[in-house]
Amino acid sequence: MLEVDIKKRLRDFHLEVKLGVAEGEILMLVGDNGCGKTTLLNLVAGLQTPDKGRIALDGRPLFDSSLKVNVAPETRNIGYVFQSYALFPHMSVFDNVAFGLCTRKLSRKEIDYRVKDRLEAAGLWEIRNAKAVNISGGQKQRVALARALIIEPGLLLLDEPLSALDVRAQAAMRRNLRETIHACNVPSIIVTHDLRDVACIGDRACLLERGLIVLSGGADEVMSWGAGPLSSEIGRVPKSSSG
Amino acid sequence: MASNRTKLNYLSKLPNRGRETLGISTRAREMALKTALGLMLILALAFIALPVASLFLKSPLDATIRSMQDPVVIDALRLSLVTSTLTILVVVLMGTPIAYVNARFQYPGKEIADSLIDLPVIMPPAVAGIALLMAFGRMGILGHYLNAFGFSVAFTTLAVVMAQVFVSSPFFIRQAKTSFEDVDMAFENAARTLGASRFYTFFHVILPMALNGLVSGAIMAFARSLGEFGATIMFAGNFEGRTQTMPLAIYTAMQGDLDVSLCLAMILVAISFLVIALVKMLTRRVHKNAGS
């Protein structure tokens, strides 16, 4: 269970968020550009520091301003898929996925076994020796997800994981992404612009506006937010959309 | 659209001879422009190529081969290579963390530190030599204390290295800083979330990604230190085998044996060409990586 109750002063507004994500639940975070979605992910991951508040994962405080606790990002055990995927270009697909295990100083045999297992499950074994810069957008997305999941994270953060894919690849990836994340049974937060992602992947959704959660509900309720600020977005969702 | 139509109407009204004249004058203007540009390019290239070619043309082969065995040439070449190699080691070890800190972090006085790092590039080498002498010379601010402990820096091989480090370090630090800045923060963040410490991230992610730029900067700094003259002669003096590097040996030989001077000059030109080729090759690789 992830519990977040934090405040941070940003350039144009204050980010003030209180939310909880249960085990195995996928929370979709939607909102306009610059409303603080990626900043919120970075704060949870420990890449930025809140001004005050508390972040706890399974009861373990990751950040607590009153107790002066601020766990370093490398020891938070959070899987993070970046918007650009951030695959290390000088490494092969295999080495990218193995990176998180190498930092944990596992034996070579154990690393090889676990990476092979993960790559085969993701259908990436055939391209294990390819440089990360030379693979397609869909493959990059799967490698980034495999790299985040292999460390067996306690929490999964995904920043617009489908935005770099073309429309056809997005539709195929949505179902795949939901199944893969649900199989891990960890709390997950996915940032997206696309309401089709919310409807097809998420269990619950929050609308962030200038640093505040203004709407929250089940992912299937998103369509009923039409009267609100997302009406223009909802207008874009095709009725037949099924992911 | 309307103006094109007007032009067409105008052309159709011209007699055949008039149309030909208009075409010829446009083509002639283009030709003249191309010829002028071509001539300017040839003149500029000749201005650089002629002196370099003259070095080779004016050096008799047998005299050059004989000069290669001259102790002055051998000593100068050995000293230059040794001191420049030591210089690069110092510059890379000292400059890499400085470049990384300046590329990634904000701190009070960063602008001043940046300007100070760049200062030796625009400072006349002779001024750099006097400045080093005033700091580390026998009567210098720090040298005064070093001398009290029986440690003398000025006019030694160490002074040659110090002068070379002073003038060549900005070439490496500037290039290294740009290379570190080019590595997207997302890679660093990704490594951190995957359990890598800052130290591990630096050596396994950032450094390999910035490596081509760093090597290119190191080569430029090596070339600058190899050609260093002003600061060295002021701070280290001109003693054969101890502080007389190749540029100093060229200057000294000019007053006696021109063949030795030409031989050393040709070696330096050959090294310069090699440096340019290496930097170009590495720059192409950096661009290729960035593009993909």
Q: Are residues B112 and B146 in the same domain?
A: yes
Q: Are residues B165 and B36 in the same domain?
A: no
Condensed to tens digits (0 to 9), the pLDDT of residues A48-84 reads 999 999 999 999 999 999 999 999 999 999 999 999 9
Structure tokens at A235: 């207008």
Q: How far is B189 from chain A (nearest CA, A)?
A: 7
| B58 falls within a domain | no
**Do residues B245 and B160 touch, judged by C-beta distance below 8 A?**
yes
Q: Does A100 touch chain B (CB under 8 A)?
A: yes
B162, pLDDT greater than 90: yes
Q: Which of B192, B208, B292 sits opposite A47 (nearest CB)?
A: B192
Q: Are residues B153 and B284 in the same domain?
A: yes
Identify the pLDDT of residue A233: 46
Q: Are residues B128 and B265 in the same domain?
A: yes
Q: How much is the pTM? A: 0.80
CATH of region A1-77+186-243 = 3.40.50.300
Condensed to tens digits (0 to 9), the pLDDT of residues B70-93 reads 888 899 999 999 999 999 999 999
A103, pLDDT greater than 80: yes
Q: For residue A151, what pLDDT band results from cuts at 50, 70 and 90?
A: very high
Q: Which of B193, B205, B208 sits opposite A45 (nearest CB)?
A: B193
A127, pLDDT greater than 50: yes
Identify the pLDDT of residue B270: 87
Q: Are residues B85 and B7 in the same domain?
A: no
Q: Are residues B18 and B69 in the same domain?
A: no
**Residue numbers in B near A90 (CB within 8 A):** 208-209
- Between B19 and B35, where is the model more confident? B35
Could you give the number of structural domains in chain B? 2
Condensed to tens digits (0 to 9), the pLDDT of residues B39-60 reads 999 999 999 999 988 888 888 7
Only one residue has tokens 């639940």, namely A25
Q: For residue A223, what pLDDT band results from cuts at 50, 70 and 90?
A: low
Identify the pLDDT of residue A53: 94
CB contact (8 A) between residue A90 and residue B208 = yes
| B157 falls within a domain | yes
CB contact (8 A) between residue A77 and residue B200 = no
| B51 falls within a domain | no
Q: For residue A174, what pLDDT band results from cuts at 50, 70 and 90?
A: confident
**Residue numbers in B near A78 (CB within 8 A):** 193
Mean pLDDT of B184-191: 95
Q: Are residues B89 and B222 in the same domain?
A: yes
CB contact (8 A) between residue B184 and residue A84 = yes
- Between B98 and A161, where is the model more confident? B98
Q: For residue B2, what pLDDT band results from cuts at 50, 70 and 90?
A: very low
> What residue of B is the nearest CA neighbor of A146?
B194
Q: Are residues B78 and B165 in the same domain?
A: yes
**Do residues A103 and A150 touch, judged by C-beta distance below 8 A?**
no
> What residue of A is the nearest CA neighbor of B289?
A89
| B25 falls within a domain | yes
CB contact (8 A) between residue B190 and residue A86 = yes
pLDDT > 90 in chain B, percent: 60
With an 8 Å Cβ cutoff, the interface of chain B facing chain A consists of 184, 186-187, 189-197, 200, 204-205, 208-209, 289, 292
CB contact (8 A) between residue B195 and residue A103 = yes
Q: How far is B274 from chain A (nearest CA, A)?
A: 27
ipTM entry: 0.88
CB contact (8 A) between residue B193 and residue A76 = yes
Expressed as residue numbers, the domain containing B125 is: 63-291
Q: For residue A95, what pLDDT band results from cuts at 50, 70 and 90?
A: very high
What mean pLDDT, rounded, does chain B reach?
87
A108, pLDDT greater than 50: yes
Q: Are residues B103 and B203 in the same domain?
A: yes
Identify the pLDDT of residue B170: 96
B211, pLDDT greater than 70: yes
Mean pLDDT of B225-243: 93
B35: which residues sit within 8 A by CB, 6+ positions away? Answer: none
Residue type, B246: M
A228, pLDDT greater than 80: no
For testing contact with chain B, the best of A44, A76, A80 (most B CBs within 10 A): A80
φ/ψ of A67, rounded to 5, equals -95, 0
Size of interface A-B (CB pairs under 8 A): 68
The residues with which B6 forms a beta bridge, in sequence order, are none
CB contact (8 A) between residue A74 and residue B205 = no
Chain center to CA of B204: 28
Identify the pLDDT of residue B200: 95
Q: Which of A72, A80, A90 sits opposite B190 (nearest CB)?
A: A80
Q: How far is B174 from chain A (nearest CA, A)?
A: 23
| B14 falls within a domain | yes
Q: Strand A26-31: give its sheet, edge to edge.
A: A69-70, A60-64, A52-57, A2-9, A14-21, A212-218, A204-209, A26-31, A188-192, A155-159, A78-81
Q: Are residues B19 and B89 in the same domain?
A: no
DSSP string, A34-101: TSSHHHHHHHHHTSS--SEEEEEETTEEEEETTTTEE--GGGS-EEEE-TT----TTSBHHHHHHHHH
What mean pLDDT, rounded, does chain A reach?
87
What CATH number is attached to the domain comprising B274?
A: 1.10.3720.10
Condensed to tens digits (0 to 9), the pLDDT of residues A178-213 reads 888 888 889 999 998 888 888 888 899 999 999 899
Q: Does A38 touch chain B (CB under 8 A)?
A: no
> What residue of B is the nearest CA neighbor of A73?
B193
Identify the pLDDT of residue A242: 34
Q: Which of B189, B197, B209 sits opposite A90 (nearest CB)?
A: B209
